Amino acid sequence: MTVQPHDDYALIGTQACGPLREEDKMKVYVLGASVAALCATGAVAGGIERNSNNYGLLYEDGNQIELTFAHISPTVKGKYVGGGSTGDMAGDYTSTGVAYKTDITDQLSFGLYFNDGYGADSTYSEGFYTGLNAEWDSTQTAVILKYQATDRISVYGGVRYVESSADITIPDQMIRKPYEDGAAQATAGAAAAEAAYGPADPRTIGAQQLAAQLNAVATSTDSLEFTAQAEKDGRFGYVLGAAYEIPDIALRVGLTWQSAITHEFDTTENSFGFGVIGVESTTEIEMPQSVALDFQTGVAKDTLVFGQVKWVEWSKWEVRTQEYETVTGDAITGIDDDVITWQLGVGRRFSDEFSGFARVTYEKSNGGIASRLAPTDGRISLGVGGTYTDGAMKLRGGIEFAKLGDAEDGSGTKFESNTLMGIGAAMTFAF
């Protein structure tokens, strides 16, 4: 769900049948965690990533500062099995970032990045899920060095530091309902056991005890609402990448790996009805590793084709707190499948000042049971944008529209025909 204002791939003067002019070579760079310039990718699709580092900035000449801004507006609604709407559970959000690049030597470059890498804001306001809420906030800082080994081969790498916090509320009725259903089934089972084996049979007594235990929770006058607060935690990860380029035809292929980062949150849980009051524990949550393959090439004069394939191991991401698991035997939420994102686009320079691009993004639907905190499955989107250059300043803007994949949660609630709209802007200064 991200507007990711990245590489200025539209500012190109390429000729597929001949070399670039020297002044045009300086304008060619598309590399990094995403080749998408100013397009929205939604946090409700493909995990909770909101922003990624523009490692393509390392390929710009001289000193550079880049400021980015994006506003994302998803609409995610579901229909309950018995009728009625969940309301729009996905909140709008704004994403910002700052990046700095400088050349240390002719072959060695330094990059510094700061942005809000991950995030989620899910709130249900209608029907049975009313009161279900989850918030995740992160900031991401990365320090990267790039070494230009030859005019065609370069490598880069460094560390990134992600600091995150989370706050989750699960309302009374969502926890009580399984106990009510379980108590009804256990009571029926106890009656059947008594009829079959008699009231003194151990099987009957066991069934009656289970029914009594479940019924005590189901009919409790105390609130079963469950809350978990994960205090801010920061951890380091690693970045490694390499690129091969042929400057004369604006060709660059780059591969970037970002390691997983495992948070160890100090967590406080509360549920008065279960006697869980201010219980503290440690919750481990893994922010997944990723691999991105980016490419670009000139195909005609002033025209560039670009794309990316990115794999993120979101199946490793799961929120499983100590007391909630004790009470329910399950995790609070998680993502079942890894996500592969495909992007393909074209950039076109219209003049020395103006250029534009269009891009399509696709994530397939994996099926299965969707999390209520991210109830979408796949997406397809179209983004368009442009760049204005005035001397050392580049101003870029874009808009993206996404159709989010239909999904169904464990209760049969269906989330269908949902969408996302994002706008973004970026400003880069060379000095």
Asked whether the predicted pLDDT for residue 138 surpasses 80, the reply is yes
* Distance separating the N- and C-terminal Cα atoms of the chain: 32
Provide the pLDDT confidence category of residue 27 given band limits of 50, 70 and 90.
very low
Residues 143-158 have a mean pLDDT of 97
| The predicted structure's pLDDT at residue 374 | 85
Query: Which phi and psi angles does 312 have, rounded to 5°?
Result: -125, 130
Asked whether the predicted pLDDT for residue 35 surpasses 80, the reply is no
Centre a 10 Å sphere on the Cβ of residue 255 and count the other Cβ atoms it contains: 15
Strands 153-170 and 407-408: unpaired
Report the candidate in 357, 360, 316, 323 with the shortest Cα–Cα distance to residue 338.
316
Asked whether the predicted pLDDT for residue 39 surpasses 60, the reply is no
Asked whether the predicted pLDDT for residue 28 surpasses 90, the reply is no
372-390 confidence digits (pLDDT tens): 888 999 999 999 999 999 9
Asked whether the predicted pLDDT for residue 162 surpasses 50, the reply is yes
Provide the pLDDT confidence category of residue 46 given band limits of 50, 70 and 90.
low
Asked whether the predicted pLDDT for residue 15 surpasses 70, the reply is no
Average pLDDT of the chain to the nearest whole number: 89
Residues 198-205 have a mean pLDDT of 94
- CA distances to 85, 140, 174, 380, 401 from 128, rounded to whole Å, are 9, 36, 7, 30, 30
Contacts of residue 192, defined as CB under 8 A and 6 or more positions apart, other chains included, come to none
Asked whether the predicted pLDDT for residue 256 surpasses 80, the reply is yes
Q: What is the sign, positive or negative, of the torsion defined by CA atoms of 102, 105, 106, 109? A: negative
Torsion of the alpha carbons at 189, 193, 194 and 198, rounded to the nearest 10: -170
Provide the pLDDT confidence category of residue 38 given band limits of 50, 70 and 90.
very low
Q: What is the pTM of this model?
A: 0.88
* Listed range (14-23, 221-230, 247-256) with the worst mean pLDDT: 14-23
CB 108 within 8 Å of CB 73: no
Residues 228-242 have a mean pLDDT of 98
| The predicted structure's pLDDT at residue 11 | 31
Q: How far apart are CA 284 and CA 233, in angstroms?
A: 10
| The predicted structure's pLDDT at residue 26 | 33
334-360 confidence digits (pLDDT tens): 988 999 999 999 999 999 999 999 999
Provide the pLDDT confidence category of residue 66 given band limits of 50, 70 and 90.
very high
